[in-house]
Structures are given as C-alpha cells and as structure tokens.
Amino acid sequence: DAIYSYNAAESYALAIAHLSDRLRGAGPWRTPWPTDDRGLSRAERKEVQERLLQHGYDIGVADGMIGVRTRAAIREFQAARGMAADGRAGGRLLDALRTLGQGIR
C-alpha cells in the first residue's frame, strides 16, 4: 500500500518491489514480463473487479487495487475458461470479462 500511495501503477509497484528485493540480494525476474498483454488503468482494474463481482467471484471491494482475493478470483476465472491461470489483470482478461455480459460464471 505504501508504494501504491505514491504511484498507483501496477508496473511501478512491481518495479520498486523488485528493486528492493535485488538490493537485498535476491535474484532476477523468474519469468519474463508479459509484454504482449497490455496493462490496465486503475479504472479498468476496477472494472475487472466489478465484472468479477457480477459473475459471483468474491474479490472484496472493487477499488482498482489488485490484491490477493482479486488475483485468486482472476486465476479461477481464467482456469474456468481455458486461459493461462496466471492471476494477471491485463487487457486479455478485461476483454474476456467484457464479452461475457451479465451471465452466470
């Protein structure tokens, strides 16, 4: 939350957290950055959460902050639809949620 209070971009928070890990002696990224899937604005992240709620996923409050419960719901949603269940809130996920409409999960 401290990082997000300065800059709400997920990529910024990840970069700062990774930098602090590296300064403590941790290794490099384990997987490459998903450059082929666009990131989301805070409004779009909130839309992801709202759509997950509409489909019955328990993410808590739709606030645009992707936390543990939202990531778990994203993984469940992705797995149920044959997507890579990585828990990442990106453009492909939002597109999939938008195409579902108001149906049941």
Q: Are 87 and 75 in contact (CB under 8 A)?
A: yes
pLDDT along the chain (105 residues), means of 10: 74 84 86 76 95 95 93 96 92 94 55
pTM: 0.69
Q: Which domains are present in the chain?
A: 1-33 (no CATH), 37-105 (1.10.101)
